[in-house]
């Protein structure tokens, strides 16, 4: 199973991001986190306080 660990790790990472935004809040202000687009250069998730809708 070790040979497949790289692919599995990527897949679980994508799922992990979704779980993160659902399960945890911003450690700084307690607001919800939001998932950023895949082409966003630096981060996968961001505090929703940075977005004004
Ligand atoms: Zn925040």
CA–CA dist 26, 7 (Å, integer): 29
At 34, give phi and psi (nearest 5°): -125, 150
CA angle 44, 45, 50 (to 5 degrees): 130
Ligand 1 midpoint to CA 12 (Å): 25
47 closest CA partner among 38, 32, 9: 32
Ligand 1 midpoint to CA 1 (Å): 39
pLDDT at 16: 73
Ligand 1 midpoint to CA 45 (Å): 11
As residues whose CB is below 5 A from the ion ligand 1, the structure lists: 26, 28-29, 31, 47, 49
pLDDT at 23: 86
pLDDT tens digits, one per residue of 1-53: 555 555 555 555 566 777 778 888 998 999 998 888 888 777 788 898 877 65
């Amino acid at each position: 199973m070790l040979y497949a660990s790289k692919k599995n790790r990527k897949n679980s990472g994508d799922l992990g991001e979704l779980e993160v935004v659902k399960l945890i809040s911003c450690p700084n202000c307690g607001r919800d986190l939001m998932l950023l687009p895949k082409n966003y250069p630096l981060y996968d998730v961001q505090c929703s306080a940075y977005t004004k809708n």
